[in-house]
Each structure stands twice: as structure tokens, then as C-alpha cells.
Amino acid sequence: MLQNVAAVLVDGVNPFELGVICEVFGIDRSDDGLPVYDFAVASAEGPVLHSNAGFSMQVEHGLERLETADLIAVPAGACYESRSFPPELLDALSRAVDRGARVLSVCSGVFVLGAAGLLDERRCAVHWRHAAELSLQYPRAIVEPDVLYVDEDPVITSAGTAAGIDACLHIVRKEQGPEVANRIARRMVVPPHRDGGQAQYIERPLPASECDTVAEVLVWMERNLDQEVTVEQLAARALMSPRTFARRFQQETGTTPYRWILRQRVLLAQRLLEATDETVDAIAGRTGFGNAAALRHQFVRALGTTPNAYRRTFRGPEAA
């Protein structure tokens, strides 16, 4: 049963991510017949903490407040990916899981859970910019960089910023039903559930490649995304055999020519949906998908949302 909730802070906490937790679990909405949680904020590093926004806060409770919590939430903070955390905090989180409590991280708060050993052999989410570092520091964690949150009960992890709202409402929905979660979301003026994952918010998920051998071919491919090409045609441009070209392409880009060009087409479609009023059919033609159905299929596969939903997200309902 979800009743007792504690947010635990270390120095450098992000005010927004802390505010998300406070907004969902710390507001008395009994006038709407909604549950009232026994909510408190606890400090792992003394009564006075600094936020990454330049102000300090006085925190009443210490780590003892975690011992009775049904849910312990860890918000994000500055440089959490490169700092150490108090051993007593890590012990308290491990004990909480052992006694059956849930723990929730928002964005880089997941590094605290990793330091406590709570990510081992578990799927987890984090802001896409921190995904590589999280995998490097905690190789036993199964990092999923494209999702908004992951529920590996009793460990729930969420991606950046607003994804913490999604994860908090998911916990409410799981414990107290969709009606309660929907009514809290309505009070907050946020969607009770968002479609898609954080892949739709990544500006350019494929890293820039220093491709000496296939660089000129990559430039040509990116300028001609509307054309259908074969590996044989690309290999001829690179003055290689198809087999050699495919091998070199894989070595230098980390993917196949087909997957590379498919991803670039989706990226171009994203930019056109954001910046133009062109129809989805027209964008499908410009990006090499041919028709709106094919574009929609690949868009959903890559980003977990439809072209029209993506356009509404980034340009408002009237644009779609």
C-alpha cells in the first residue's frame, strides 16, 4: 500500500525534479477526495543543502525518515554521475528494498541507486545524455536510453525532467488505480500518460562519426535521402566491392547502410515536422519513405510515437 513517501536529497539537488516528487505526493488534495500521502523530505548530508540553482534549503529530516517509507524517491542533481554518495544513504536504500519498500529515481538520481547496487541485472532508465556513462559505471545495469521510465519493481527509474512525472503517476496508477492517477494529472494539468519514449526528444541519437573511408558516401547519402539506393551502388561510389564496403561501413559507423539511412530519414522527418507545415504525405516523399503509411510505420518503430503526435508535441495541437 502506498501511503508513506519520502524524497531523499544530497547536495546539488535539481529543484525541478524535487518539485515533481513534491507535487505528486506532497500536495493535500483531499478536497477532491484524493489520497493524502504522509510525505516528507529527508537529507543525506546535513540539515542545510544547496540546490544546483544557487539557493539553499533547510531540511527537517535525516535518513531515519527513510526507515518507514513505502516509497523513497531520489531526484536528480548536479554532477551525480561523477561524485560519491554517503555510505549510510546507500545502506538505507538497500535496507528499504530488502524490507519491501519501493525506490524511485528521477533522471541522474539513478546514479545513487547504482551506487547502492540496486541496478544490478535490472533494466533502468536515465536521461539519454547520461546513458553511456551509466552503462560504463554500472555494467551490470541494463540501461534503456529510449524510454520515459522503467518499472522493475521495487526499483522504478525515469528519464530526464518531466519523465519523472510519468513515473510518479505510473506508481499512483499501479497502487491506487487509473482514476486516482488521472485526477491527480488533471489537477497538475499534465497528461496522465504520454505516448512514446524519450527517443523522440533526442536531438541526434547517432554520434558523429570520423569515417575516413566512407565519409564522402555518407555525405552523398545524407543529401539524397529521397532516393532508393543499394549497397552495390554505394560501394561503386566508394570504389569498393559491396562486401568490403559493407564491412568498412559497419566498422566506421557502427551500423549497416540500411539502418543508417533509415535513421537519417527519420531524423529529417522529425525536423520537417517541427519546422514546416508540409503534410505527412509530402514529408514521406521528401524523406524517401514514399507514402504516409510507410513513414508512420518507421516513425513508430524508431520513436514510439506517430508523426502527427510528434508534431503536436513540438508545435502544438493546431499544427497537426
Tens of pLDDT, residues 92-116: 999 999 999 999 999 999 999 999 9
pLDDT at 249 over 90: no
CATH superfamily, domain at 4-199: Class I glutamine amidotransferase (GATase) domain (3.40.50.880)
Look at the domain 215-319 and name its fold.
Arc Repressor Mutant, subunit A (1.10.10)
CA-closest candidate to residue 61, choices 77, 82, 38: 38
pLDDT at 313 over 50: yes
Grid coordinates belonging to 200: 523522440
User: What is residue 201's predicted lDDT score, i.e. its pLDDT?
Assistant: 59
Mean pLDDT of 125-130: 92
Q: How far apart, in whole angstroms, are the C-alpha atoms of residue 253 and residue 245? A: 12
pLDDT at 209 over 50: no
Q: Which stretch of 32-46, 95-109, 183-197 has the lowest confidence by average pLDDT?
A: 183-197
Burial annotation 69-80 (CB, 10 A radius, 16+ → b, else e): bbbbbbbbbbeb
Residue 31, SS3 per DSSP: helix
Band the pLDDT of 207: cuts 50, 70, 90: very low
Q: How far apart, in whole angstroms, are the C-alpha atoms of residue 253 and residue 238? A: 15
User: What is residue 105's predicted lDDT score, i.e. its pLDDT?
Assistant: 98
Diameter over CA atoms, the chain: 73
Residue 155, SS3 per DSSP: strand
pTM confidence score: 0.69
User: What is residue 293's predicted lDDT score, i.e. its pLDDT?
Assistant: 95
| Cβ atoms 166, 191 nearer than 8 A | no
Q: Which stretch of 63-77, 138-152, 245-259 has the lowest confidence by average pLDDT?
A: 245-259
pLDDT at 316 over 80: no
pLDDT at 165 over 90: yes
User: Where in the chain are the domains?
Assistant: 4-199, 215-319
Q: How far apart, in whole angstroms, are the C-alpha atoms of residue 278 and residue 264? A: 18
- At 48, give phi and psi (nearest 5°): -115, 120
Cis amide leading into 47 (omega within 30): no
User: What is residue 16's predicted lDDT score, i.e. its pLDDT?
Assistant: 95
pLDDT at 64 over 50: yes
Residue 199, SS3 per DSSP: helix
- At 156, give phi and psi (nearest 5°): -115, 130
pLDDT at 13 over 90: yes
User: What is residue 202's predicted lDDT score, i.e. its pLDDT?
Assistant: 55
